[in-house]
Amino acid sequence: MKILLIGKNGQVGRELQRTLLPLGELVALGRDGLDLGDLAAVKRVLASQAADVIVNASAYTAVDRAEADEAGAMAVNAVAVGAMAEYARDNGALLMHYSTDYVFDGTKAQPYVEDDATAPQSAYGRSKRAGEEAILASGCKALVFRTSWVFSAHGGNFIKTMLRLAGERDSLNVVADQVGAPTSAELIADVTALALAAYRRGELAGGIYHLAASGATSWHGLASYAIASAKARGAAFKVEPAQIHPIPTEAYPLPAARPKNSRLDTGKLAAALGLQLPDWKIHVDRLIEQIS
Ligand code: NDP
C-alpha cells in the first residue's frame, strides 16, 4: 500500500512521518515538493504518485492572516482539498484529512458532535468547512478528523509562547472565556495510524470524526498548567502564579473571531476504535519534558 503524506513539515505532518511508516510505502512531501496554491501541480503530483492513501496534513493555518487573504486560505484549504477528493474518488484511493473546531460558532453549551450544524465565524473556518464540503460532495472514500488547539514540540505554538513570556514578564493576561481541549500532534498522528489500520481491516466507516484529547480548559488554564508543569521540572520564571490574570476575549482583540466553546465530543471515534483518549494534561507534560 502506497501512502502519500502531504504537509510533512507541519506539527501533525512531522508526527505522521513516524506513525505512518509501519503501514505502507510512505512518500512524504513538503511545500518544496508540492505547493498547494498551484492546482495544476496538485493534480500532476497526485497522478504521478498514484497513492492508495492520501494523508493531507497541510493547511493554511494562519487564522488571523486569513481574514485579509480569504482567497489564499480557500485555495489551500478548499480548492486543493477538492482536487485531492476528486483524485481519490476517480482512482479508488482513501483521503485522510484534518479539520477544525472553527467550523462551529462556539455558542453551544455542550461539546460539539459531528452532526451539529456548522457556522464558521472566520475566513479560516469558512475555508476549512469548504474543504470538508468538497470531500463530502465528491463521494470519495474519506476519513476527516476535526481537532482543536494543536501543539507539538516543533514549530511555534501557544504553550511555547507562554513559557517564553513567563520568563520575561512579571504578569501575564490570558483569555479565560474560550474553552477547548489542547491536543498534541503526537496524539493526532497516533490515532490517524490506528484509524487507517482499522479502515483497511473494514472495521472503521468513512466520514467525519472528532479527534481531541479528553477534558477541557481555557487558554488561561492551559498557560497556568504549562507554567506550573515546567516549574515542577525545575524551570525558573519571572511571573508568579497569582500574576497570571484571566481576561475576557474582548480584552485581547484579534482579527479573526474564535469560538467560545471549542469542545468536541469524541465519543463516535472512541467507540469505533475502542480508544481511551488521554486527558490533555498528559501530552502537555510530555511536551514540557521534550522541550526542557
Ligand atoms: P501547521 O501550520 O503546523 O502545518 C501546516 C503545513 O501546511 C505546514 O507545513 C505548511 O508548510 C503547509 N502548507 C501551508 N500552505 C501550503 C501550501 N500552499 N503548499 C504546501 N504546503 C503548505 O498545521 P498543524 O499541523 O497544526 O495542523 C494540521 C491540521 O490540523 C490542519 O488541517 C489544521 O487546519 C488542523 N487544525 C489545526 C489546529 C491548530 O491549532 N494548529 C486546530 C484545529 C485543526 P510550511 O511549513 O512551508 O509553511
**Residues 68-124 pLDDT 10s:** 999 999 999 999 999 999 999 999 999 999 999 999 999 999 999 999 999 999 999
Q: Which of 17, 18, 31 to mutate to test ligand 1, by most ligand atoms within 8 A of the CB atom?
A: 31
- pLDDT at position 292 is 82
**Nearest C-alpha to atom 42 of ligand 1 is from which residue?**
148
Beta carbon of 147 within 6 Å of any ligand 1 atom: yes
Beta carbon of 13 within 6 Å of any ligand 1 atom: yes
- pLDDT at position 156 is 85
Q: Which residues contact 288 (CB under 8 A, 6 or more apart)?
A: 226, 229, 230, 233
Cα(10) to centroid of ligand 1, in Å?
A: 5
**Nearest C-alpha to atom 18 of ligand 1 is from which residue?**
36
| Nearest residue to 209 (alpha-carbon basis) of 224, 223, 195, 227 | 195
- pLDDT at position 139 is 98
Q: Which residues contact 32 (CB under 8 A, 6 or more apart)?
A: none
Domain 2-156+182-214+264-279: give its CATH superfamily. NAD(P)-binding Rossmann-like Domain (3.40.50.720)
Cα 12 from Cα 35, distance rounded (Å): 18
Cα(228) to centroid of ligand 1, in Å?
A: 29
- pLDDT at position 50 is 98
For residue 14, which atom of ligand 1 is closest to its CA?
A: 25
Strands 217-218 and 179-180: antiparallel
Question: pTM above the 0.95 mark?
Answer: yes
Beta carbon of 145 within 6 Å of any ligand 1 atom: no
For residue 98, which atom of ligand 1 is closest to its CA?
A: 32
Beta carbon of 35 within 6 Å of any ligand 1 atom: yes
User: Which of the residues 124, 199, 209, 225 is marked catalytic?
Assistant: 124
Beta carbon of 125 within 6 Å of any ligand 1 atom: no
**Nearest C-alpha to atom 41 of ligand 1 is from which residue?**
150
Cα(232) to centroid of ligand 1, in Å?
A: 32
H helices of 180-218, in order, are 185-200
Are 194 and 149 in contact, with CB atoms under 8 Å apart? no
| Nearest residue to 197 (alpha-carbon basis) of 133, 275, 131 | 275
Beta carbon of 72 within 6 Å of any ligand 1 atom: no
- pLDDT at position 189 is 98
Q: Is 124 designated active site?
A: yes
Cα(61) to centroid of ligand 1, in Å?
A: 5
Cα(9) to centroid of ligand 1, in Å?
A: 8
Distances (CA, A) of 203 to 156, 194, 271: 36, 11, 11
User: Which regions in the chain score pLDDT beneath 50?
Assistant: none
- pLDDT at position 254 is 95
